[in-house]
Structure 1
């Protein structure tokens, strides 16, 4: 299923739905009584998923997708969005060489020995089409980072790698937008990555059964139509089972938690000079079957 959060002319309150018919139509799962929010649907586990499938199969509560507005699938996850830095081989070297990596010493290796985990404030989350507001970055060093995000279904602590897939509900796309100079100045990443509007997410949340092998997914990022990033998820330094195991060792993961798995090479600071986002730009990140997350820049 390609699950969505949406509003329409009839309802300003966000509702849960599913895109069907190749994305041309949407089923209103809230009207069908499945769940009021995607967070609730995830917490409902297999029972809620079965109810969603039944609603889709019944053909009820269906409308043209052109009649709705998509929002971030999850706007209020249980925790901040958990993110992983330097987790694609080429990007780790790109970031290490950029002069902006204040997280390690000058002589440290480009590839981390262990996952570099940080968070973005959930208040930075916005949906498809919502502008990335560079006016909130006083350093004018706003950069893009296209990422595959894992959404946790069944929670737990001390999850073993061998069991991790039973804890994955599905996948979405995150743009880990970053104020680079703020990130460098404070020698940590939270402030530079948690600015309001700096976490576009969506357009859908694809359930895990729709992705037989997540490693085969390809991420592509364009800025104003120009290709900037392209990589397979198989290129991750630390794969998804490793990330879930490491994070859950002492932190209980909860249904709806989000783990952004890292960005490939091709970010703005990888160019000489850096190519930061400017008002009038548009960033589009595509991972099929999730879709394309596109946001204008103001």
Structure 2
């Protein structure tokens, strides 16, 4: 099942995408306020699946304006240097523990919304990633139980301001500029993905492939990451885990390639879909 958050006629809602139509789940499931609440409730999620299969669609997909899949996640946990080939191109080695940083929810954008190159830098880079959406909360989660906490998967572009990233050894500032984190277009529920390790991630700039990687190449796999973070923080429904980007990023190319106004960057993930965003300058 493909689930979206969206706007229609000035109203925020969430729904299921069926072909090129949308079933308005908020209308059919009163008392469920948003998509994060839906994926936290197995009974309501089962009802949503039946509605997606049987209900008459309420809107055409092209009639709604998408929001980020989870418009306001409680936390966005990002992982750096998590593909061996990316670590090599960055001149880094994969350590004993995952590199963790955070992004703020207010930086998120939806599918087709413009990525904003900030006024203070021209070093605006792309990072195609698979994002995991948490459906079941918890702490101190064992790796063998971690996948029970996954509601589904979506595409993510952790677009980065490279010079700001390296102002200090704490590079989070360059990772959380306004209007730089694209998330969507939809959440594909975990039951649709037999083995996430078979997923392929590609980053495409203006029709040319820049990045490619397989989730089987992760240095720290999804169960390990969920378990590791849960030792410090409670996972909550709707939280996002961005699993890292494969090799091919712009600033390690010769010459470097950075995003500029007029560009279009796409994150394409097999079995998930395509997240596409144009680029504009901050005004």
**Residues of 1 paired with 2:43 and 2:183: CA distance?**
26
Q: Say how many residue pairs are matched.
A: 279
The corresponding residue for 1:116 is 99
Out of 39, 44, 47, the residue aligned to residue 48 of structure 1 is: 44
Residue 67 (structure 1) shift: 1.8
Unaligned runs of 5+ in 1: 97-108
Q: Which contiguous aligned blocks of 4+ residues in structure 1 show a shift greater than 3 angstroms?
A: none
1:219–1:287 contact (8 Å) kept in structure 2: yes
Specify the alignment match of 1:67 in structure 2: 63
CA contact (8 A) 1:217 1:287 kept: yes
User: Cα RMSD between the aligned structures?
Assistant: 1.3
Q: Secondary structure of 2:26's partner?
A: coil
Aligned residue runs from structure 1 range 208-227, under 5 A: 208-227=190-209
Cα distance in 1 for partners of 2:59, 2:107 equals: 30
1:103 match: none
Q: Is the 8 Å Cα contact of residues 2 and 188 (structure 2) preserved in structure 1?
A: yes
Alpha-carbon separation, structure 1, partners of 2:136 and 2:114: 33
**Aligned to 1:91, what secondary structure does the other structure show?**
helix
Shift of 1:297: 0.5
Kindly provide the CA deviation profile for residues 53-96 of structure 1, in whole angstroms up to 9, marking residues without a partner as x: 222233234332222222211111112x1000000010011112
SS of residue paired to 1:185: coil
**TM-score w.r.t. structure 2 length?**
0.95
Alignment partner of 1:88 out of 83, 89, 92: 83
1:194-209 → structure 2 map (5 Å cutoff):
194-209=176-191
C-alpha separation between the residues in 1 aligned to 2:109 and 2:171?
19
TM-aligned CA deviation for residue 139 of structure 1: 2.2
Separation in structure 2 between the aligned mates of residue 120 and residue 95 of structure 1, nearest angstrom? 21
Q: 1:285 aligns with which of 267, 280, 283?
A: 267
Q: Does 1:160 align with 2:142?
A: yes
Matches within 5 A, 1:1-298: 1-8=1-8, 11-21=9-19, 24-33=20-29, 35-43=32-40, 45-79=41-75, 81-96=76-91, 110-134=93-117, 136-298=118-280
Q: Which runs of 5+ in 2 are unaligned?
A: none
Counterpart secondary structure, 2:183: strand
Distance 1:257 1:26 in 2: 24
